[in-house]
């Protein structure tokens, strides 16, 4: 593969990392998605969403969207254990914001 093609390909694949670092939605704590504590992840996202003056949606929606975005973009690169912790962070985020657990009416 020519060097130019490979360089362009690498740039295209890294756009999601750029979004999580420089999102207009909110400023995230550095390396928060690398934490092993789902509650810490959820609390950090809540703080970031509530402090943000740039978000376009309510704090809960912004925080949940950023977490979902990260999970979706990481895709196959997430181990099962890591994905489980991030999914648990979603549940904690719902609890912290006083939302009903998914699947309940």
| CA 103-47-99 angle, 5° bins | 20
- Decide if 49 contacts 59 (C-beta within 8 A): yes
Rounded to whole angstroms, the Cα distance separating 25 from 53 reads: 8
Are 41 and 33 within 8 A, CB to CB? yes
Structure tokens of 77?
């690169």
Average pLDDT over residues 37-66: 92
pTM beyond cutoff 0.95: no
pLDDT confidence bin for 55, thresholds 50/70/90: confident
């Amino acid at each position: 593969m020519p060097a130019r093609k490979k360089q362009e390909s690498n740039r295209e694949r890294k756009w999601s990392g750029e979004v999580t670092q420089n999102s207009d939605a909110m400023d995230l704590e550095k390396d928060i998605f690398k934490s092993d504590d789902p509650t810490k992840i959820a609390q950090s996202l809540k703080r970031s969403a509530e402090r943000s003056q740039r978000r376009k949606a309510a704090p809960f929606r912004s925080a949940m969207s950023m977490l979902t975005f990260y999970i979706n973009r990481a895709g196959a690169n997430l181990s099962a254990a890591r994905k489980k912790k991030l999914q648990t962070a979603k549940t904690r985020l719902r609890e912290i914001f006083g939302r009903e657990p998914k699947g309940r009416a």
